[in-house]
Structure 1
Amino acid sequence: MSESKRYFLDISYKGTRFHGWQIQENAFTVQEALEAGLSTYFRTPISVMGSGRTDTGVHASMQICHFDTEQEIDREKFIRAINGILPKDISINSIREVKADAHARFSAKSRSYDYRMILQKSPFVEDYVWRHYFNPDISRMNEAAKILLEHTDFECFSKVHTAVKHFRCEIKSAHWEQKDGELQFHITANRFLRGMVRAIVGTLVDIGLGKMEPEEMHQIIESRDRKKAGKSAPACGLFFSRIEYSEDIYLD
């Protein structure tokens, strides 16, 4: 019998019709579709572990997951074939062999999300952006975003009743920019809480619209109360965009 090998898959997906990443009863998820496709290709049950969960309607321009198999893989043939099997809203971008103890979730050094807003109606991107009707002040939002880096407990931005041991995250960068006719928010951290990025975006937009002052971000975070923060931004504008690993986990 051949020795089992572990592989990292770099995948992208449009989250519009999926109920998030993680398999759950009575709902169609990305993980379910991916495992079904891999199991069809290898003709044996295959399970995958993702680097992080995305909620219903959230997209991923980059998601990493790992799986194990004893079968030899012709990578070019595999990518062509598996993309033919998977639904049109999921694509496999690359596959790399990793060390046996490498883990898509626990080996990750950082994760990044992008959030996209537009201020003018566009029928071509409506599934991927938050169409906003008012123009928030990007300088005020960036002033408030800098405050995120001064804190580590983000319970105020977490969904309630979530099964986590703590609410500490190390935010490494967070900023807004105007790009390609959009307002885009970029944030990188070692980990994220459920619903955290959308709650942050909603709060920052409120600040950009003058509903709160930038320095109030301190009080919101220190309150540890979800009700003190703004409403969550719509899922359609959020993209899981990057995961970083140490290069020494890769075998190719």
Structure 2
Amino acid sequence: MVSGLVVGRLALVTGAGSGIGRAACQVLSKEGATVIAADRNYEAAVQTIKTHTALAPGTNGGEEHSAVELDVSNSKAVQDLVQDTLKQYKKPPCIIVNSAGITRDNWMLKLSEEDYDSVLNVNLKGTFLVMQAFAKAMAESSVSGSVINISSIVGKYGNMGQTNYASSKAGVVAMTQSAAKELGKFNIRVNAILPGFIDTPIIKTVPDKVKEQIMKLVPLGRLGNPAEVAEVIAFLSSDKSSFITGAAIDVSGGY
């Protein structure tokens, strides 16, 4: 018998091919959820399901985990995923984790309009499109749910070379707070997590000297682990957080 925080629930995780998204799939499945791993890199999403998730609750005849290819900035692709999910699972996910995100770093005076737009399209617009489409499906099906949007501590304090990324992640917090006010009447909770510097593929592009400077600003003195963010995602997905909505929670080691 499966036990855990989110037993029997269906979860959609975007950006599931690596980093925080992959860790979220791992922890949510461990806690009893059926997981839909969505990523622009389909093979990475498949790998998440194959090697980074606990046994699906439906292995003995019920629901199974699945992997899907998804460009969150493409509204048609998002709408198609809603329909495909309803067809396959006969219900919408009640847990939505918006973890898809990209960086295109450069000094503000050198940042191209294309790199600004691409980051905003994925990080902010993509989060909006997924949240809007799946919250509508939940509301129409009278399904209570929890949406967890992944922002960043950079959206709170800014960071050199990341004017595009910081603005996209600050927007995610404001959007989360507004959506929470609108969706509460449907018993859909919406919260944001602001990870600090987490040991993900994105942080691997940061020069070692810069990492050393960052560590001096983190009271716990280390990078975070994706699983440490995923555990907060699981909490916000569960009934343990039933009176929390519109919150923005730092998971940053005190940065």
Pick 1 or 2: higher relative contact order, CA cutoff 8 A, min separation 6: 1
* Higher CA-based Rg: 1
Query: TM-score, normalising length from structure 1?
Result: 0.30
Query: TM-score, normalising length from structure 2?
Result: 0.30
The structure with the largest helix share of the pair is 2
